[in-house]
Chain A
Amino acid sequence: MKAILILALLAVLACLAGLALGAVPMSPRVIVAALLSPDAPGAAIVRDLRAPRVVLAFVVGGSLGVSGAALQALVRNPLADPYLLGISGGAGLAAVVAIALGFSGAWGVPAAAFLGGLGAIALVYRLSAVAGRRLDPHILVLAGVVVSAFTGALISAVLTLSPAEQLRNAFLWLLGGFTAASWSTVLVFAVYAVLPLLLLFGSARALDLLSLGEEPAQSLGLDAPRARRVVYLSTSLLTAASVAVCGVVGFVGLVAPHALRGLLGPLHRRLLPAVFLASGGFLVLADAAARTAARPIELPVGVVTALVGVPLFAVLLRRTLR
């Protein structure tokens, strides 16, 4: 209980930092004034650019974190991340094709990425069914690897045939960023994410049992196939939408679950809300760093999460192995 309060406080601080930092230096007084009144100087930047970015980054980060934690229980591997099951490959491929074909509407590339993610989900599900063991953890991972490799090869092919600059721009998109964040994007994502998130939070006990293995879980009263379906679909839908909104942002689904599992224990009832808060805050801070570190140049968020995530992860691993 205490832990959740501390994390909530940290999350709020992260959001405040996200509002305070950016390409344009602003003092706290200016920011507070901007939040209170739409006519204050800098209000447009704070209210229409930074605020939606902070909210979106928080919700996306939280979704990726919870998806990562759930997936780790589902495939019984603490190194699983939301992109393990090929979703980023499918979404990335669709996005790259959309960029190559010149989709320019505000929703063109994200919609394509989302559909690509759905395609990957369906393909992995189908592959696991063909193997006769629907949603079996080992089969899922293998199918995910296959789909990732397949889409990766296609992405390389598309990029090879594209002019040099489309190549660079497709990479930049894939590396992730919240530049296109607006209140309408926030609304769409938030409304969409409510159901999968609630389903995952509600699956806390199922996740505890699934991590034990199929037979123990079933003998303890879990309808394992149904639980796996719910978890698989919820995590996949959240991940596909995340990629559509902001590209592929790695490590968010990996770092917080790992760290918090060590601190709070693996019980999902306690873990999932904590992971949501921590991952949300993490991504907000990463986005703030992306906007500030080289201002006015904006780095891709995926680069920041990797640069921070890798050493963080190394530290975590060392502590677990000691």
Chain B
Amino acid sequence: MNLTAEGATVRYPGAVADALADADLTLAAGELVAVVGPNGGGKTTLIRALLNLAPLARGSVALDGRPIQEWRRGELARIVALVPQREDTPFSWRVEEIVGFGRYARRGPLEAMGPDDTAAVERALTRCDVAEFRERRIETLSGGEWQRVRIARALAQEPRLLVLDEPTASLDLGHEMELFELVRRLVAEGLAALVVTHDLNLAARYADRMLLLDGGRIAASGSPETVLQAELLSRVFRWPVAVMPLVDGPPQVLALRPGQDHPRYS
């Protein structure tokens, strides 16, 4: 699995500026890349560009050597699973049905689901800790539970690249950590993962590489240490921050209150 972008540029119709400009990126199996940046910086647009959900004005994106535009949706869904930021549906689906949708890409429209499909759904339900909800209707789920169900659906696709857009938005601390632990485990097993997140610190602790997007451009990319620079972050997020190195880990970011100086810690 190899996803590369070169100079990818997206401009939405009627917009005055590019939503994404000259983005270069490579993703390979076994790594977790976190995409961070301020709101409106182009993070979701990057995902759309990578998955052919938005047309490229300039540049190119290729998956396993083939231009992304040449991939049929079904083919693509067997390799890449996306969990979009927001999703709502008017119908009262059961959790099991939603996760089952992840298998549609592997079966023709009239082909029945087989035992390996059932097994994949089971695995996905268990890994995302939603197996006990399988009969529940989605409108009875909390925001976090709905999130986990959608991730289970993505896992049911048995993808080689997992793309998550703000997956921890509605999750509590415990579930947040569980989610990132899960993704880390999957990456260790050989999956590639691209995670858009607003949580700089979690990103730093779990990601192999980070990408900082600002105004549609990549402002920094590389290891967490490279990307998390106080001056750069303060400028990009328009708020003063301090970056504190952990003794046995990546740096952590602390936003400063007005008048506050670099914090002291024991």
Contacts and interface: CB of A to CB of B under 8 A. Distances in A.
Contact of B81 (A78, A219, A262, A266): A219
Nearest to B112: A269
Interface string B78-100: 10111010011111111001000
A203 B78 CA distance: 20
Interface string A210-221: 011101101111
Interface string B99-132: 0011011000110000000000000000000000
Given A205-B104, A219-B82, A266 B91 contact: yes
A73 to B, nearest CB: 8
Interface in B36-86: 51, 53, 72-74, 76-78, 80-82, 84
Interface residues of A, number: 30
A206 B108 CA distance: 11
Contacts of B157: 220
Interface string A189-225: 0000000000000111110110111011011111110
B160 to A, nearest CB: 14
A306 B34 CA distance: 56
A38 interface: no
Contacts, number: 80
Nearest to A201: B110
B248 to A, nearest CB: 37
Find the residue from A72, A220, A221 having the highest chain B CB count within 10 A.
A221
B89 A218 contact: no
Contacts of B76: 221
A209 B77 CA distance: 13
Contact of B90 (A76, A222, A223): A76
Given A206-B109, A208-B101, A220-B101, A266 B82 contact: no
B105 A205 contact: no
Interface string B146-179: 0000000100010000000000000000000000
Contacts of B249: none
Given A76-B90, A205-B104, A221 B97 contact: no
B73 A265 contact: no
B105 A221 contact: yes
A156 interface: no
Find the residue from B80, B90, B157 having the highest chain A CB count within 10 A.
B90
Interface residues of B, number: 30
A65 B153 CA distance: 30
Interface in A211-270: 211-213, 215-216, 218-224, 261-262, 265-267
A162 B76 CA distance: 59
A169 interface: no
Contacts of B259: none
A132 interface: yes
Given A77-B90, A221-B76, A209 B82 contact: no
Find the residue from B51, B77, B89, B110 having the highest chain A CB count within 10 A.
B89
Contacts of A203: 109
B110 A212 contact: no
A237 B36 CA distance: 48
B13 interface: yes
A72 B92 CA distance: 13
Contact of B105 (A132, A211, A220, A265): A220
Contact of B92 (A216, A223, A265): A265
B89 A265 contact: no
Interface in A46-82: 72-73, 76-78
B78 A221 contact: yes
A267 B97 contact: yes
A218 B110 contact: no
A262 B113 CA distance: 24
Given A206-B109, A223-B73, A267-B97, A218 B92 contact: no
Nearest to B44: A215
B97 A215 contact: no
A203 B97 CA distance: 17
25 contacts: A72-B90, A76-B90, A204-B109, A208-B104, A209-B101, A213-B89, A216-B84, A216-B87, A219-B53, A219-B81, A219-B82, A220-B77, A220-B101, A220-B102, A220-B157, A221-B105, A222-B74, A223-B73, A223-B74, A224-B73, A265-B92, A265-B93, A266-B92, A267-B93, A267-B97
